[in-house]
Amino acid sequence: MGFQVVDHPLIKHKLGLLRRVDTSISHFRQLTQEITILLTYEATRDLILEPRSVMTWQGKAQAERISGKKISVVPILRAGLGMLDGVLALIPSARVNVVGLYRNEETLYPVEYYKKFNNDIQIRDALIIDPMLATGHSMAKVCEMLAEEGCSNIKALCMVAAPEGVQYMDEHFPGVTIYAAALDDHLNEDGYIIPGLGDAGDRIFGTK
């Protein structure tokens, strides 16, 4: 697996603001979208291009476009929705596939309650989005669901990751590349990332 912290001054600055306990709901949403845009830029560096001819004001010229089927973005409900607009800002033609999971607070393992995939997802590149990679169980579950659909090229974006979650993904899905804004210190006894962001879903949706 290629776990990559995207090292960029803008990401570091915005992530510092995202961590602040007094960051408002609207600002938290905006920062999440902005960081997602920067992560998406990095995660799509290896998209294959093909030549094409376009008509310019001076006649035809050679240009390039992304080849073949494009991206299927897969937000993990509910917090992953906070990153969706950031991906779509750069890839407006992406298909959106949704997975609903909640965490059993006793076992820390995910419970599936919803899934909606496009019928051609197996021929597209999948991009999982979820602000937090904590234990890694939820992301691994989605990777398993995508693999069952025949999807072979899977990447993921997250705001912050814990070493435990990175290790779990490396052990179970070594072929999945994860792009993160930061690798944090550890998980606490309740399975939350330290220092982390708090509950990203609550901060995005304004719930407690």
DSSP labels for 137-187?
A: HHHHHHHHHHHHTT---EEEEEEEE-HHHHHHHHHH-TT-EEEEEEE-SEE
Model-wide pTM > 0.85: yes
The whole-number pLDDT of residue 78 equals: 87
Residue pair 69/50 in contact (Cβ under 8 Å)? The answer is no
The structural domains of the chain, with segments of one domain joined by +, span 3-47+67-205
Residue 1 has pLDDT above 70, yes or no: no
The whole-number pLDDT of residue 173 equals: 93
pLDDT digits (tens, 9 = 90+) for 90-114: 999 899 999 998 888 777 788 889 9
The whole-number pLDDT of residue 6 equals: 94
pLDDT digits (tens, 9 = 90+) for 153-169: 899 999 999 999 999 99
Which of 70, 87, 172, 66 is closest to 129 using CA atoms? 87
- Neighbouring C-beta atoms of residue 131, cutoff 10 Å: 28
Average pLDDT over residues 30-40: 96
Per-residue pLDDT band at 69 (split at 50, 70, 90): low
Question: Which residue has tokens 């304004």?
Answer: 206
174 burial level (CB within 10 Å; 0-12, 13-18, 19+): exposed
> 183 vs 122, which has greater pLDDT?
183
pLDDT digits (tens, 9 = 90+) for 142-152: 999 999 998 88
The whole-number pLDDT of residue 105 equals: 76
The CB-side HSE value for 39 (13 A sphere, CA atoms) comes to: 36
- Top-level class of domain 3-47+67-205: alpha beta
pLDDT digits (tens, 9 = 90+) for 126-140: 999 999 999 999 999
Question: Which residue has tokens 């830029």?
Answer: 41
